[in-house]
A = this chain, B = another copy of it.
Amino acid sequence: MAGDKKISMAVIRRLPRYFRYLYDLIRLDIRRISSKELSERMDITASQIRQDLNCFGGFGQQGYGYNVQSLYDEIGRILGVERRFSCALFGAGNMGNALANYENFQNRGFDITVIFDSAADKVGTAIHGIPVLHVDGMESFLKSKHVDIAILTVPNRAMPDITARVVKAGVKGIWNFSPTDLKLGEGIVVENVHLSDSLMVLGYRLMEQLREDAARRK
């Protein structure tokens, strides 16, 4: 079994995608799947799949393939989907609103229990049933409610103050939507989301595609 064995971050970063595809297979009532079939669905090479999934146990059997449900359960266990994290969302703007309304996070074990903002017209309201409190009261809330994760969607200029206070209040996980990568030192886990990075990759691939199309028409 895995659990004690260290899995590389490169593999970990691919696990949520396996998890999604396996979930879809379960819904389609597909009980087992070969690395080749999974490879075609996921656009990953079969050898990459075998290498990734061999990291945490021998679910693949020669001539049988993977047991979809076992593999799904095991990946879920590794990712800790049965554990619940308490999250505080900072910023009740457009991105904050979008995230507060995203039901999927809760299904994955992440509960947004509070939203902090400083705007008078937002404080005291609720978004998707989650109360919006004034950011001044964050310290006592974060400590007393044992918040695990801060989701940051505040303007850039507010970032230094908010991050310093969040970390001081004992929050260990940061999901950062600001344009600048956060690095907060030992013991604080940060995931930075950069939507423009994904868009720029799309732009690059699209240019390549248009170039190929043009070459073919010649």
Contacts and interface: CB of A to CB of B under 8 A. Distances in A.
Interface of A: 12-13, 15-17, 19-21, 24, 42-43, 78-81, 83, 85, 93-95, 97-99, 101-102, 104-105, 108-110, 148-149, 172-173, 175, 179-181, 183, 187, 189, 191, 193-207, 209-210, 213
A213 B187 contact: yes
B193 A108 contact: no
Contacts of A203: 79-81, 83, 85, 108-110, 149, 173
A140 to B, nearest CB: 22
Copies of this protein, total = 2
B206 A173 contact: yes
B104 A98 contact: no
A175 B196 CA distance: 11
A204 to B, nearest CB: 5
Contacts of A43: 183
A202 B175 contact: yes
Nearest to A171: B206
Given A24-B180, A97-B98, A98-B95, A191 B199 contact: yes
Nearest to A110: B199
Contacts of A24: 180
Nearest to A78: B204
B79 A172 contact: no
Task: Enumerate the 7 nearest inter-chain pairs by beta-carbon distance, A residue then B residue, closest first.
Answer: A16-B197, A94-B98, A191-B202, A173-B206, A95-B98, A16-B200, A189-B205
Contact of A191 (B179, B198, B207): B198
* A104, A189, A204, A213 — most chain B CB neighbours (10 Å): A204
